Amino acid sequence: MDLLQRFAAGDLEAFESLFRQYQGDVYRWIMRIVRNSATAEDLTVETFWRMYRARAQFDPTRSVCGPWLRRIATNAALDHLRRSRREIPLPDDLPAAAQQPPAEQLELRRQILAAIDKLSPSLRAVILLALVEEESYENIAQSLGISENAVRVRVFRGVRALRKSLSQAGVHA
Amino acid sequence: MNQQEMDDLRKLLQRSVHPVGRLELQRDLWPNMLRRLDQPTFHVPWWDWALLAAATALLLFFPGMIPALLYHL
């Protein structure tokens, strides 16, 4: 019996193997959406918790569980964004962001982060994944459970909303 | 919006929001996972919520039933 079959049957050791194999990928994917390492760690555990609870629905004849896991991770990250909307502005605790830029760049950055904050969670996730992280539309579509055309529409709507917010703030993109 | 405008916006965003790239997880999260697995879960089935909603709606629309309900409790 292979690893995925053992996991679907409820074997904790198989689950641990999958966890160790995928925790880095899941963490990075969630980090791309929530951009805070502590939150991304919590949501990584939440993702595997949801995966473990849903193991009976997993089809072990599939050769990979990465796309399934990525979809669960995206849902967990979107749920978090919906819960924390209007409470927490977009954080960005990546190492590169720690360098102190000049004052005018700080102001520009603040305006851009504010414009991203105004987007709905699903548009925000798509804009961050497509434009900042340059993920393929195929990957984004899989992770959201929508078609690539629907991703294009969301990118278009997100870009339009961003440009509107930025132009109201006097930033011309 | 043309491709050039899209690329300009992408560059502007990437100057303010840095791509994650190949960021590494700093620690093993398996101990956190084990703690989460050990936590008892409290789950109310959806039909219990539906029953509660139906009872609340019934009492709201027919308040005269409240004394009858209390009598039977």
| B38 at A interface, C-beta within 8 A | no
Q: What is the pLDDT of residues A98-132, one digit of tens each?
A: 555 677 778 888 888 889 989 999 999 999 999 99
Structural domains in chain B (count): 1
A89 contacts A113 by C-beta, under 8 angstroms: yes
Would you say residue B41 lies in a domain? no
Would you say residue B68 lies in a domain? yes
| B70: closest CA of chain A, how far (Å) | 38
| B9 at A interface, C-beta within 8 A | yes
What CA–CA distance (Å, rounded) separates A51 from A58? 9
pLDDT at B17: 86
pLDDT at A95: 57
Would you say residue B9 lies in a domain? no
Give the chain B residue whose CA is nearest to the CA of A90. B17
Closest partner CB to B25 (pick from A27, A49, A127): A27
| B11: closest CA of chain A, how far (Å) | 8
Would you say residue B23 lies in a domain? no
Inter-chain CB proximity A23 and B30 less than 8 Å = yes
Would you say residue B63 lies in a domain? yes
DSSP string, chain B: --HHHHHHHHHHHHHHS---TTPPPSS--HHHHHHHHHS------HHHHHHHHHHHHHHHH-TTHHHHHHHH-
- State the residue range of the domain holding B51: 46-73
Is a pLDDT exceeding 80 seen at residue A145? Answer: yes
| B20 at A interface, C-beta within 8 A | yes
Q: Taking residues B27-38, what's their average pLDDT? A: 94
Q: How many residues does chain B have?
A: 73
| B56: closest CA of chain A, how far (Å) | 27
Give the chain A residue whose CA is nearest to the CA of B2. A156
What CA–CA distance (Å, rounded) separates A72 from B59? 39
Lowest mean pLDDT among A26-30, A150-154, B5-9, B33-37: B5-9
Would you say residue B59 lies in a domain? yes
Interface-testing mutation among B18, B35, B41, with chain A (most A C-beta atoms within 10 A): B18
Would you say residue B55 lies in a domain? yes
> B42 burial class (0-12, 13-18, 19+ CB within 10 angstroms)?
exposed
Total CB pairs under 8 A between chain A and B: 92
Alpha carbon distances (Å) from A95 to A12, A92, A104, B19, B26: 35, 9, 20, 11, 13
Residue written as token pair 């995928």: A22
A90 contacts A116 by C-beta, under 8 angstroms: yes
Q: What is the pLDDT of residues A47-106, one digit of tens each?
A: 999 999 988 888 777 767 888 899 999 999 999 999 886 555 666 655 555 555 677 778
| B43 at A interface, C-beta within 8 A | no
User: Domains in chain A and their CATH numbers?
Assistant: 1-92 (1.10.1740.10), 100-173 (1.10.10.10)
Q: Comparing B44 with B62, which gets the higher pLDDT?
A: B62
Is a pLDDT exceeding 60 seen at residue A46? Answer: yes
Q: Comparing B6 with A103, which gets the higher pLDDT?
A: B6
A128 contact residues in B (CB cutoff 8 A): 17
Residue type at A159 in one-letter notation: V
A9 contacts A67 by C-beta, under 8 angstroms: no
Average pLDDT, chain A: 87
Query: What confidence tier does B43 reach under pLDDT thresholds 50, 70, 90?
Result: confident
pLDDT at A1: 63
Q: What is the ipTM of this complex?
A: 0.78
- Long-range CB contacts (within 8 A, 24+) of A69-72: A69/A22, A69/A25, A69/A26, A70/A25, A70/A26, A70/A29, A70/A139, A70/A142, A70/A143, A71/A142, A71/A143, A71/A144, A71/A145, A72/A47
pLDDT at B44: 77
